[in-house]
Amino acid sequence: MLAKLRLLSLIVIALTLPLSIKASVVRKDATLISLPVAKRVNMTGTAKLLEIDQARARALRDRAEGKYDPSSKATVPATNVVVTYVTTIGVGQPPQEFSLLIDTGSSNTWIGASLANPYRPADSKAAHDTGNKVFVAYGSGAFSGEEYNDTVTLDVASAGIVIENQSIGDAFFSKGFDGYDGILGIGPTDLTCGTLIPATSECIPTVTDNAFAQGLISNKEVGIAYAPTTSLSDPNGELTFGGINEKRFSGPLRFVSITYGKDTPILNSTAGIVDTGTTLVLLATDALNVYKAATNATSDPTTGLLKIAPDQYSNLQSLFFHIGDETYEFTANAQIWPRALNTAIGGEPDAVYLIVNDLGALGGSGLDFINGMTFLERFYHVYDSENNKAGFATTDHTYDTTN
């Protein structure tokens, strides 16, 4: 058995290089704003967790290879998102509250997925219909709707940040987002380009872009802190706009440059992304075969996940991710699905399922792995879109044995 599987790689935060925007104003009063985040496990859909993650991976690869067609809805499966992280924002004057999925792998912010909580632009003093339609496909869902400009409030309880003229979509069609109001897209601005209808190259400034441009935050940084949990619904995270929360990590925070992995070979062209919209850690098929051989794992037909016998768990070794000049240990406990949640994914109560699985493509494609939420529950992550950098640090939960 291989003692360790080493992923020699540089993390790619996005599939396109974000534009760098230099500020011309001095931000003396700007501050950090932190939003509480809750994890939810929702298995009302018919698709397995792995199938949903792989569908999202295909959509991300299509974007990287220039195959994304914003006018096409043919490849969108009718499934629900399985594991999500959710936060609440306000839209309008006065603010109407919406519970949104947090997504670093997309950048459009939109609302209206829930019929029980429709967006009411007529009730907002700041709402303005742009006259544009918008469509975004996510692999595991899609939405289309009308694009509005309105006020967005982060941290509604204290009105911590009030962003004016934020462009948001109001969905008149959405698939795969039952139980949620929409998405808070905090990825690179480039991912919004081409999503407006009729087809245009126009890009849509993100919530982070506008908060920075309006002097509400000092830096175009978003800090992401999650923690392992064994509950179906648990407030176990935090999203910080404008910088980092030093209380949320323990080790040194190291930054690496963001790059486009397909065009810039890095350590045998092995590059991938960090994505809050993906649950598992997905490896290129050839790398996964090495992992399966090292762990003696087999595919479980019921859950779609890899499975090992309980007595094999004591032999499960750590994965070591080399990111820039640093090495981050992904422990054996981090590699298994929380056993308390086995039945939520259709599994056996006492079985040991692994959260590492198949990306659905061979290595060398430029997107060779995706580190999803199960990875982010063990490490603090900062996305700095102003300086095109990604930051990582260990936390108090890196070596948790909760699973």
CA dihedral 59, 167, 85, 73 (to 10 degrees): -30
Q: How far apart are the first and last CA of the chain?
A: 23
Alpha-carbon gap, residue 116 to 351, rounded angstroms: 38
Alpha-carbon gap, residue 267 to 368, rounded angstroms: 12
Q: Is 384 one of the annotated active-site residues of the chain?
A: no
**Residue 306 host element (H or E):** strand 306-308
CB atoms within 10 A of CB 312: 14
- Give all strands of the β-sheet with 352-354 in edge-to-edge order: 298-299, 306-308, 352-354
Report the SS3 class of residue 143: strand
Q: Is 69 one of the annotated active-site residues of the chain?
A: no
Selection from 103, 91, 128, 57 nearest residue 367 by Cα: 57
**Residue 345 host element (H or E):** none
The secondary structure of 160-213, three-state, reads: CEEEEEEEEEEEEEEECCCCCCEEEECCCHHHHCCCEECCCCCCCCCHHHHHHH
Helices (H), 70-170: none
Report the SS3 class of residue 318: coil
Helices (H), 303-379: 373-376
**Which one from 53, 150, 209, 275 is the annotated catalytic residue?**
275
List, by residue number, the catalytic residues. Answer: 103, 275
